[in-house]
Amino acid sequence: MLMQIPVLTYHATNIFGNEYSSNDHIALAHDLKLLLKQDITILSAHKLIQWMNREIHLDKSKHYVVITFDDGSELDFTDWHHPTCGFQKSFYTTMQEYMNSSGRYIHATSFVIASARARKTLEQTCLGGHQMWGDNWWQKAEDSQLISIENHSWDHLHPTLNEVSQTENLKGDFSVIKSYIDANQQIYQSSKYINQVIKNKTTTLFAYPYGDFSDYLTDQYFPNSQKEIKGAFTCEASHVSQQSNIWKIPRYVCGSDWKSIEELESILIAI
């Protein structure tokens, strides 16, 4: 049987209540219990790439899942008292609790926005002015060996920014990255910054903002015009196989592709 692996994606800033469907932190805690109950092994995104490239073999008698976080707010790593929803455990705290209670391996990849200037604006436009989008936690996350920091672009082409690193200042759709200049600004510049912040770091993974991509990125830039990035993730809702395009790796997004533990079970049935 063809092995298929789902990649599950969470956003730490998705806190709109204290129910599964309104809070990715609560969803992650419940989802980890489900993965343990179903005896599903958590695989790192880096191992997924190695498996796709047939550099490693996985036990065909086991089921696997990969966990990723998008946007890289400090809530990935730091607990926070939300102004209306109360105390929120960070993804990292939830992962620690899972590991300590189960004794099983866990790993997640946090795809971060590199530009400090963009993140400062996003604190105002997306976090109500709360200073929770810094990069001082990146090294701590890497050192924990539970979370890897990887590339989610320079500025996400976020629509709330006055200016973005795109030749025509086009925002909100990463498929507009269609030239070497724009790709280098959004991808190479971002990797360079991350590698400067984290000692001995070489960024090797990329997640497309909004899940959008262009043919230029998937067919030209990533395979032919750069050497650092080894795999790129979309938000297309399907499982990963060794036949999947390594520059268009699909992911399921919490709150979009599933909103309950039952809906996640339906996704996992396919493996």
In a domain, residue 2? The reply is no
pLDDT of residue 183: 98
pLDDT of residue 271: 67
Say how far apart CA 183 and CA 195 lie, in whole Å: 17
The count of other CB atoms within 10 Å of the CB of residue 172 is 15
On whether the CB atoms of residues 216 and 248 are closer than 8 A, the answer is no
CA distances from 50 to 86, 186, 205, 230, 271 (A): 40, 25, 12, 9, 19
In a domain, residue 46? The reply is yes
Say how far apart CA 89 and CA 94 lie, in whole Å: 6
Say how far apart CA 220 and CA 239 lie, in whole Å: 24
In a domain, residue 82? The reply is yes
Say how far apart CA 93 and CA 108 lie, in whole Å: 12
Residues 6+ apart with CB under 8 A from 49: 204, 205, 230, 231, 246
Q: How many folded domains does the chain comprise?
A: 1
Q: What is the largest CA-CA distance in the chain?
A: 51
pLDDT of residue 2: 87
128: exposed, middle or buried (Cβ count in 10 Å: 0-12, 13-18, 19+): exposed
Write out the two tokens for 71: 């946007």
Amino acid at 244: S
On whether the CB atoms of residues 250 and 48 are closer than 8 A, the answer is no
DSSP string of 50-64, one letter each residue: HHHTTSS---TTSEE
Per-residue buried b or exposed e for 24-55, using 16+ beta carbons within 10 Å of the residue's own CB: bbbbbbebbeebeeeebebbbbbbbbbbbeee
Say how far apart CA 7 and CA 67 lie, in whole Å: 6
Distance between start and end Cα atoms, the chain? 10
pLDDT of residue 270: 72
In a domain, residue 87? The reply is yes
Which parts of the chain have pLDDT scores under 50?
Answer: none
In a domain, residue 53? The reply is yes
| Domain range for 225 | 7-269
CA distances from 130 to 91, 127, 135 (A): 18, 6, 14
In a domain, residue 1? The reply is no
The CATH number for 130's domain is 3.20.20.370
